[in-house]
């Protein structure tokens, strides 16, 4: 292993040396080309022999660099990848878990938790908003599988539990493609519920606090039906999630399925998109750029914010519970937008 690192180190040093030689040759050719334009026969180059020779050297250098790059890639592929330490679970206790949207902000943190607990995790993501980099530290692990697939189309796989998190969740994303958002939350949910029915697997549907619309009461209990606008600019997401919940309980009643519904409130933490258009990311991004922070309205409106690891704990606890009715997952303490701005500016 040490010899392999030693080889890679020296190859990189050699490439660095070749790079500086190329810079010198380019500079030499550039200067003499300028001289040729002024004095074709008075330059230091014996045109055209020296130019042909310099071109030959450049081509050889390029060829050697490409060969060295291929060699480095080959050597790196032989270095064993290291993974975070995972708990060992025997066959009876280990679950095979499907996470749709598992390469996204929340989904990738759920992947981390279940992997560290020793379960087998299959991630299905179409990478519309998810990123492969969020889960790349697990790629190659024997308990992990990543499938590039859009759950608007049926998927056939054998699992014990399903977390259905696939859906654009930030305003710029779901407003950019509202039809896609509705399809994911309707057709996608139908496909996942159909899979869970066939496998007799427990399924958790990730809903949202947006099902309450523009609420008249704060905080909203799960029994609140909401104050909604079915044709507003955000309706593709809000109504899509409401239909998703309706489908879930229709399947549960008709097919006697084990379902869970989590209504997720504002969440922040690592891996969130900085340009996702939501309050926390907007404030942080504008503060980092030393820009004036944008506030819509008076700033006295209240929101609750939870850290992503707390949300993940809630999702897992809900899945493992015997409670089948919708559950709000969020911080019970609400803060004003102005208060959040002051907190952001402290850092």
Helix (H, G, I), strand (E, B) or coil at 271: coil
Q: Residue length, the chain?
A: 347
Active site residue 323: no
Residue 243 sits at φ, ψ, to 5 deg, of: -65, -40
What Rg do the C-alpha atoms of the chain give, in angstroms?
28
**CA neighbor of 162 nearest in space, from 62, 261, 232:** 261
Neighbours of 263 (CB within 10 A): 21
DSSP string, 225-250: --B--TTSTTHHHHHHHHHHHHHHHH
> For residues 188 and 240, is the Cβ–Cβ distance under 8 A?
no
What is the Cβ-side half-sphere exposure of residue 256, based on CA atoms within 13 angstroms? 0
Taking the C-alpha atoms of residue 291 and residue 284, their distance in angstroms, rounded to an integer, is 10
Taking the C-alpha atoms of residue 130 and residue 334, their distance in angstroms, rounded to an integer, is 28
Displacement of CA 335 from its chain's centroid (Å):
27
> For residues 338 and 302, is the Cβ–Cβ distance under 8 A?
no
Task: Considering the candidates 237, 268, 296, 307, report the single residue annotated as catalytic.
Answer: 237
Taking the C-alpha atoms of residue 164 and residue 261, their distance in angstroms, rounded to an integer, is 10
Contacts by 251-256, CB closer than 8 A, 24 or more apart:
251/193, 251/196, 251/197, 252/324, 255/197
**CA neighbor of 135 nearest in space, from 4, 247, 238, 271:** 271
**Beta-sheet pairing, 120-125 with 144-148:** parallel
Displacement of CA 148 from its chain's centroid (Å):
13
Residues belonging to the active site? 237
């Amino acid at each position: 292993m040490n010899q392999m690192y030693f080889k890679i180190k020296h190859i990189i040093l050699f490439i660095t040396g070749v790079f500086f030689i190329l810079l010198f040759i380019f500079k030499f050719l550039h200067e003499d080309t300028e001289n040729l334009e002024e004095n074709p026969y008075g330059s230091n180059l014996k045109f055209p022999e020296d130019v042909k020779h310099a071109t030959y050297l450049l081509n050889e250098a390029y060829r050697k660099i490409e060969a060295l790059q291929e060699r480095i890639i080959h050597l790196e592929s032989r270095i064993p990848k290291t993974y975070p330490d995972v708990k060992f679970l025997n066959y009876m206790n280990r679950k095979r878990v499907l996470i749709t949207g598992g390469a996204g902000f929340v989904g990738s943190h759920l992947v981390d938790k279940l992997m560290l607990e020793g379960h087998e995790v299959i991630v299905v993501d179409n990478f519309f908003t998810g990123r492969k980099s969020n889960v790349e530290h697990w790629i190659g692990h024997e308990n992990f599988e990543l499938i590039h697939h859009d759950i608007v189309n049926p998927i056939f796989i054998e699992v014990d539990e399903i977390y259905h998190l696939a859906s654009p969740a930030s305003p710029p994303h779901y407003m950019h493609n509202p039809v896609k958002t509705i399809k994911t939350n309707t057709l996608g949910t139908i496909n996942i519920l159909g899979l869970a029915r066939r496998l007799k697997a427990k399924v958790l549907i990730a809903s949202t606090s947006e099902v309450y619309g523009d609420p008249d009461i704060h905080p909203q209990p799960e029994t609140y039906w909401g104050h909604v606008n079915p044709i507003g600019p955000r309706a593709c997401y809000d109504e899509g999630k409401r239909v998703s919940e309706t489908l879930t309980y229709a399947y549960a009643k008709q097919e006697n399925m084990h379902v869970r519904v989590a209504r997720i409130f504002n969440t922040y933490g690592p891996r969130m998109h900085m340009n996702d258009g939501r309050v926390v990311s907007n404030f942080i991004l504008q503060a980092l750029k030393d820009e004036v922070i944008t506030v819509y309205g008076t700033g006295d409106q209240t929101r609750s914010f939870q850290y992503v690891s707390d949300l993940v704990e809630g999702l897992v606890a809900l899945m493992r519970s015997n409670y089948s009715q919708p559950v709000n997952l969020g911080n019970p303490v609400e803060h004003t937008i102005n208060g959040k701005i002051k907190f952001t500016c402290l850092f």
